[in-house]
Structure 1
C-alpha cells in the first residue's frame, strides 16, 4: 500500500512521527524516544513499517497504543480555558504592554523584565529532553503570577526572574538590590510563591531565583543560616538537567498534569 504520509510533531517534550492516510486519518505514530510504533489498525502494519523505514533507527517495537495513564486522561479531559500549558513567559507583562505601551520618556522596566522572563523561559523549555516539564506565568490567588514552574527529575522549582540589566546584584536575605535601586524582598516573595505551589501540588517545591544579565552577582548567606533559595544566572539554567533522583518520570508527568490545570490554583 502506498500514499501514507509521515508528519513530524513535537508535543510535551516528545518527538513523534505520525503516519496517516491521504484523507488525513491516522493509522500509527512512531515515538523516537521510546522506539515504539503505536499501530491503530493492524491491516496497515506492513505499509506503516515501509513508510517509516527511512526514519527508524535501532530496534523498535510495534503494537497497539499504550493504555493511557491517569495523567494522560486528565490532560485529554482538560478544557482549553483551564489549560495553562500555552501560557507564554511573561504572559501578564505581554497583556500589560498591550494595554499600556512603553513610556516614551523615563525608564519603563517592563520591556527588560519581559525580555528576561522570555530568556529564562526559553532556557527552561530546553530542559524537556532531560525529562523536565515547564509552565510559565502560573496565576496565583491575589492577582499575582509565578514566573515559571519547573518539574523534573531533580524536583519541583518555583522560579522567579530578576532582570539585572547589566547592573551589580547584591543579595542579603530577604532583600535583593539591583544596582543603586532600593533593595526589595524578592526572596521573601519567592518563598511565598513556592509555599503556595507546594500547597496546591501537595509536594515539596524549592524556590529558585534566576538572575538575568548581571554584571556581578554577590549572594550572601541568609540570616536563617540555611541557603534554601537556589540562585543561578540565566546561563546556568542548563545545569538543572544534571539533577535527578528526586521525582520519578511518571510522577513528573502526573505533577505536570495537575499543575497545568488552572483549577489546581483556584479551587472551587
Structure 2
C-alpha cells in the first residue's frame, strides 16, 4: 500500500500541509508543517501515513514532538515522550455510543441522470416556468415550444432565461483557461444556483439578473434599478455563497472560500459602491476578468470540488 500512496502539498489561508492520499485521491491523513501536528483518519492508516511522511518530510518526525490534534482541529495535551498520531477518539463510558469524528461525508453516486454537468443555463427556469398564453410568447418561443411539445414561457421568465443563457455563454469562454462551470444547480426549495464557477482562482457563485438598458446601482447590501425600489441581490448573493461553501466543505477535506458574483445582464450603466468589497458586481462581458485569476486552488482541489458539485445528490439536503 505504501508504494501506492501520494503526498500533496497544500497552502491556503495561512495553512501549510502535506496530505497523504489513497490512489483514488481520498486523503487518509495530513501533516501541518506550521504546527508540526499530524492527523490520520483511522488507526489502520497510522503506519502508512508516518512512513510516507518520513520519506517526504523527515523533519516532521525528528523535530520536537508535534501537537496532537483530533480532526477537525481540536488540540489535545501534548505527549510526554515520542510523537503520537491522532486516530479515533477513545470510547467514553456512556449509555449513548460516542459520536464518530467529523470527516468528509460520503459522496452520492454519480449517474447520467444525476450529473449536473449536463445542465444548461436556465434549466430550472425552464422546468418550473408557469404556463403562458401564446400571445405572451415570441414567435421563436412559440415555434420551439410547438416542436418540442411544451408550453411557452411567460415574458418575465423568458427574459430571465435569456439573461442566464447570456451569462452562461460568457462563462463558457473561461473554460479555455482551466475553469469548470455548472449551471442551474437545483435546490430542495425549488430555487437554484444560477452558475457555479470552479478553477485555479477559486470558487464563485454567480447570480444573474437581467436589466436591459436600465441603470443599476449596487450598494453595500442592496441594488437599485433606475432609482426604483431596492432589490436584495447583494444579500442573496452572500447567502448563496455561504450555502455553497457549507455544502462543498461537507464533502471536502479542506476549507473552501466561495466568492459571490452578481451579473447584471445588458444594463445601460453599472455603478458599484467602493465599500462593496465582498461581492463582485459585473456586466456579463466583465466576467472575463475572472479568467487570469489563479493561486487559490491546486488542480487536485479544483477537480475534487467540481466532482463534488456536479453530483445532484450533494444539494439534496442543503
2:259–2:278 CA contact under 8 A, matched in 1: yes
- 2:170 corresponding residue in structure 1: 123
Give the TM-score normalised by structure 2. Answer: 0.56
Give the TM-score normalised by structure 1. Answer: 0.66
Aligned counterparts of 2:203 and 2:136: Cα–Cα separation in 1 = 41
1:132–1:153 CA contact under 8 A, matched in 2: yes
Aligned counterparts of 1:102 and 1:153: Cα–Cα separation in 2 = 45
- 2:11 corresponding residue in structure 1: none
- 2:82 corresponding residue in structure 1: none
Aligned counterparts of 1:234 and 1:212: Cα–Cα separation in 2 = 5
Question: Which 5+ residue runs of structure 1 have no aligned equivalent?
Answer: 1-66
Alignment match of 1:101 (pick from 132, 143, 148): 132
Alignment match of 1:85 (pick from 107, 117, 120): 117
- 2:215 corresponding residue in structure 1: 168
**Residue deviations 1:153-194 (CA, integer Å, cap 9, x gap):** 111001001111111001122111222542110010110010
SS of structure 2 residue aligned to 1:126 = helix
Q: CA deviation at 1:267?
A: 4.0
Instruction: Report the structure, 1 or 2, having the larger strand content.
Output: 1
Give matches, 1:137-148, under 5 Å: 137-148=184-195
Give matches, 1:156-195, under 5 Å: 156-195=203-242
SS of structure 1 residue aligned to 2:155 = coil
**Residue deviations 1:181-213 (CA, integer Å, cap 9, x gap):** 421100101100100000000111100011111
Give matches, 1:7-86, under 5 Å: 78-86=110-118
- Structure with higher Rg: it is 2
* Matched residues, number: 196
Alignment match of 1:212 (pick from 265, 269, 287): 265
- 1:250 corresponding residue in structure 2: 300
